[in-house]
Amino acid sequence: MTIARDRLRVAVQKSGRLAETSLSLLRRAGLSFRASRDRLFLYGENLPIDVLLVRDDDIPGLLMEGSCELGIVGRNVLAEQRLTALPGTDAPAERLALGFGGCRLSLAVTDGGPITVPAQLDGLRIATSYPGLLADWLAVNGIRAEIVVLSGSVEIAPRLGKADAICDLVSSGATLAANQLHELVAILHSEAVLAASPHPLGSAKAEQVERLCARIEGAQSSDGARLLMLQAPRAALAAITRLLPVRESPSVLSLDGLPDDIAVQALCSGALDWQHLEDLKRLGARGLMVLNVERMLA
Ligand SMILES: Nc1ncnc2c1ncn2[C@@H]1O[C@H](COP(=O)(O)OP(=O)(O)OP(=O)(O)O)[C@@H](O)[C@H]1O
Ligand SMILES: O=P(O)(O)OC[C@H]1O[C@H](OP(=O)(O)OP(=O)(O)O)[C@H](O)[C@@H]1O
Ligand SMILES: [Mg+2]
């Protein structure tokens, strides 16, 4: 099925943990928007790319029905949808991992209780909002347990006597600790991902998708990237390179009229502080310059 709409649509969480970072990533990829009055639709002003602001759980369905071509959603939501979709339906695919919204889906049990290993869950009840992922993990691990589906506040289920264990998202672990629970095992590691509709796109839209992906990857790689420029004696190159938090081989250029000297340009990640520069100077480097990298395109 080809989607008959010439502007690309990206679905993003309206409010919640992923909302702000998702929109700021799209802005860093160079998109600018005008909001509709109800703030549910952002019209792309400089590219034919619009944003739908929705509940995160709705994003896989919107991708499947073709209401949008891309979505930013937790891998946990995407994977759950894939496991609970009707057989034979094409599920949205993970296109890029986005490096924020990191968390894990974990089995957890009551502190000081009898369960210490997952095998002891056999025959017991586990509360979760992720029945597909949990059922899949239990089947792979040969554990038969009853799945109690709850849409939220899963951590409270053991105290209410509704379940013997839970399977829910964890990041700092503070919610588990507050409910006298601890993790047994993580069954899925998640982060926000760019998900793509399973439907084929026309060439113009496919081109927009590639363009947006390249920009997002560029925005991610320029995070924390610094360009270091210096001049140095050619003989000091190896020692200088060893000192640098380089991402890739530095460019080494000859200098007119100075055959024993070189100019070095190195793309670095992490801190390049005064100490670093002083250490490089001690090796003979001069004219040191550190520049923040604003944009990168592979
Ligand atoms: N504690 C956490 N730390 C980091 N990321 C998390 C955490 N909890 C959830 N996430 C990630 O953020 C996503 C959105 O979480 P959020 O709690 O905002 O969802 P929600 O309450 O279902 O929101 P919505 O109203 O859109 O349905 C989750 O699906 C998961 O990928
Ligand atoms: O390990 P922690 O850092 O404590 O995070 C874990 C909590 O975060 C999520 O809920 P959230 O706070 O997003 O509320 P929600 O259940 O209403 O979505 C998740 O469902 C856990 O309850
Ligand atoms: Mg939700």
Query: Is residue 16 lining ligand 1, measured as CB closer than 6 Å?
Result: yes
Among 160-169, 183-192, 242-251, the minimum mean pLDDT is found in 242-251
**pLDDT exceeds 90 at position 19:** yes
Backbone dihedral angles phi then psi of residue 150, each to the nearest 5 degrees: -125, 145
List the one residue out of 63, 72, 113 whose CA is nearest residue 91: 63
CB atoms within 10 A of CB 63: 27
Mean predicted confidence (pLDDT) in 235-255: 92
Q: Please, what are the domains in the chain?
A: 8-101+192-222 (3.40.190.10), 103-190 (3.40.190.10), 225-292 (3.30.70.120)
Calculated CA dihedral for residues 120, 122, 126, 130, nearest 10 degrees: 110
275: left (phi over 0), alpha (psi -120 to 50) or beta: alpha
pLDDT over threshold 60, residue 184? yes
Q: Which atom of ligand 1 lies closest to the CA of 16?
A: 18
pLDDT at site 269: 87
For residues 123-147, average pLDDT: 98
Helix (H) or strand (E) holding 239: helix 237-243
Task: Give residue 206's pLDDT band: very low, low, confident or very high (50, 70, 90).
Answer: very high
Residue 31, pLDDT above cutoff 70 = yes
Residue 89 in contact with residue 167, Cβ under 8 Å? no
Predicted confidence at residue 108, as pLDDT, reads 98
| Complex ipTM | 0.96
Q: Residue 205 and residue 267: Cα distance in Å, rounded?
A: 33
Of the pLDDT bands very low, low, confident and very high (cuts 50, 70, 90), residue 2 is very low
The answer to whether the beta carbons of residues 94 and 167 sit under 8 Å apart is: no
- Residue 158 has what pLDDT? 97
Three-state DSSP class for 176?
Answer: helix
Q: What percent of the chain clears pLDDT 90, i.e. is strictly above it?
A: 88
Contact 141, 187 (CB under 8 A): no
Of the residues 105, 150, 171, 183, which should be mutated to test ligand 2's pocket, given the most ligand atoms within 8 Å of the CB? Answer: 171
Cβ(182) – ligand 2 distance below 6 Å: no
In angstroms, what is the span from residue 15 Cα to ligand 3's centroid? 10
CA–CA gap between residue 43 and residue 254 (Å, rounded): 49
| Residues 256-297: tens digit of each pLDDT | 999 999 999 999 987 789 999 999 999 999 999 999 998 999
Is the Cβ–Cβ distance between 258 and 249 less than 8 Å?
A: no
| Alpha carbon of 273 to ligand 1 centroid (Å) | 36
CB burial readout 248-272, b (16+ within 10 A) else e:
eebeeeeeeeeeebbebebbbeeeb
Q: Which of 43-47, 155-159, 223-227, 230-234 has the lowest mean pLDDT?
A: 223-227
Q: How confident is the model at residue 248 (pLDDT cuts 50, 70, 90)?
A: confident
